[in-house]
Amino acid sequence: MDLATIWFWVVAFLFVGYFVLDGFDFGVGMSLPFLGKNDVSRRQVINTIGPVWDLNETWVIVAGASLFASFPEWYATLFSGFYLPLLLILVALIVRNMGFEYRHKRDSDGWRRGWDAAIVFGSFLPAILWGVALTNIVHGLPINQDMEYTGNLLTMLNPVSLLGGVTTMLVFMTHGCFFVALKTDGAIRHDARALGTKIGLAAAVAAVVLLLWLGIEGGSVWSWITTVALAVIFLTGLFFNMRGKEGLAFLCTFVAIALFVLTYFLMLFPNVMPSSTNPAWSLTTTNAASSHHTLVIMTWVALIFTPIVLIYQSWTYWVFRKRITTRHIPKAVDPSRPDPIKVH
């Protein structure tokens, strides 16, 4: 296996990590209007991801940087063609993160409602647009012989990509509900399980239709295997959720999302951006990769630092592993205090 192929799967691993981790962050944010019936319950929901949401986002930064260094032609075509969707994702993430940081800054219901809306908006939009973008890449895009995207925004808004956006939104929301159920107790725990079951059933239907569609177009033996596996695991997660086994339910959606993203990359390989204009103009792991010397240096850097990052992130989740109940939510801050205590 050559280094370009290895780095294709490294990039796949990084995007898998991003979507399984930030995926439940999106889900928690999207569930806020349904589970947060008052300020205390909304803070309880938000605090489930309070210690980890920013750490989870670093995966997409590393994935983007790795993509830039290992496959510069892929990066150039992707970021130029998808400039507007990626910009919208970035803006939405910034707005969401501001919501996490600023909602506690003033003891005002209107102030908190505004930032709660920012969190919800900043969770829904990326969850949909990531699905639209990834599905377009797998489905194929108009790319010319110069590796340039020749379509426009409306080109990306085709039926299969929109289905992809709806699917990722529903799957992430299910994932987030299971995480809230795992990390909380009391009424919210039961409400999250009930909501997760309802959304999960819709997500299962959407995912089956989407993956059948893409699989018939360009699936491989391995992608069909992962499709069947993720369907079984996702439905098993719904079963565990209904039985009140939140840990196993969350583990199932975690694995199912990993297999979902892996299925997309299996459908892609050895292409990285298939051309719908002419298959001969597709970007591949060969014509889009960096030089051998660059890939060698990147491999040594990854071998040294990746274990450190994984150990640190695992330690963070272990430290904040306990459930959050209403007794962990202190009273809202008094804005007249000169140095208010940060309370999400």
Q: Is residue 344 part of a domain?
A: no
Q: Pull the structure tokens for residue 246.
A: 């939140």
Best CA proximity match to 123, nearest among 25, 200, 205 = 25
Q: Is residue 336 part of a domain?
A: no
Q: pLDDT by residue (tens digit) across 56-85?
A: 888 999 999 999 999 999 999 999 999 999
Best CA proximity match to 196, nearest among 207, 185, 188, 206 = 188
Q: Is residue 37 part of a domain?
A: yes
Between CA 4 and CA 70 the distance in angstroms is 7
Quote the pLDDT of residue 329.
60
Lowest mean pLDDT among 52-56, 245-249, 330-334: 330-334
Phi, psi for residue 141 in degrees, rounded to 5? -135, 155
Quote the pLDDT of residue 219.
86
Q: Is residue 109 part of a domain?
A: yes
Quote the pLDDT of residue 109.
84
18-28 mean pLDDT: 94
Q: Is residue 295 part of a domain?
A: yes
> How many other β-carbons are positioned within 10 Å of the β-carbon of residue 244?
12
Between CA 318 and CA 336 the distance in angstroms is 36
Quote the pLDDT of residue 341.
46
pLDDT band at 86 (very low <50, low <70, confident <90, very high): very high
Q: pLDDT by residue (tens digit) across 129-172?
A: 999 999 999 999 999 999 999 988 889 999 999 999 999 999 99
Q: Is residue 330 part of a domain?
A: no
Between CA 259 and CA 265 the distance in angstroms is 10
Arithmetic mean of pLDDT over the chain:
90
Residue 340 has pLDDT above 60, yes or no: no
212-235 mean pLDDT: 94
Residue 112, CA distances (Å) to 21, 44, 47, 91, 103 in order? 26, 14, 14, 20, 5
Quote the pLDDT of residue 97.
92
- b (16+ CB within 10 A) / e for 246-285: bebbbbbbbbbbbbbbbbbbbbbbebbbbbbbeeebbbbb
The residue segments making up the domain with residue 137 are 3-324
pLDDT band at 313 (very low <50, low <70, confident <90, very high): confident
Q: Pull the structure tokens for residue 233.
A: 């695991």
Q: pLDDT by residue (tens digit) across 243-253?
A: 999 999 999 99
Q: Is residue 338 part of a domain?
A: no
Hey, which bits of the chain come out as E strands?
271-273, 283-284
Pairwise pLDDT comparison (325 vs 31), residue with the higher score: 31
Q: Is residue 334 part of a domain?
A: no
Pairwise pLDDT comparison (327 vs 10), residue with the higher score: 10
Best CA proximity match to 115, nearest among 106, 128, 125 = 106
Between CA 270 and CA 289 the distance in angstroms is 12
Residue 53, CA distances (Å) to 65, 75, 119, 207, 296 in order? 19, 25, 12, 25, 32
Between CA 146 and CA 251 the distance in angstroms is 43
Mapping DSSP to helix (H, G, I), strand (E, B) and coil, where does residue 276 land? coil
Lowest mean pLDDT among 117-121, 204-208, 259-263, 338-342: 338-342
Best CA proximity match to 30, nearest among 227, 166, 226 = 166
What angle, rounded to 10 degrees, do the helices at 3-35 and 159-183 form? Answer: 70
pLDDT band at 343 (very low <50, low <70, confident <90, very high): very low
Between CA 28 and CA 22 the distance in angstroms is 10
Q: Name the pTM for this structure.
A: 0.90
Q: What percent of the chain stands above pLDDT 70?
A: 94
Quote the pLDDT of residue 304.
87
Number of domains in the chain: 1
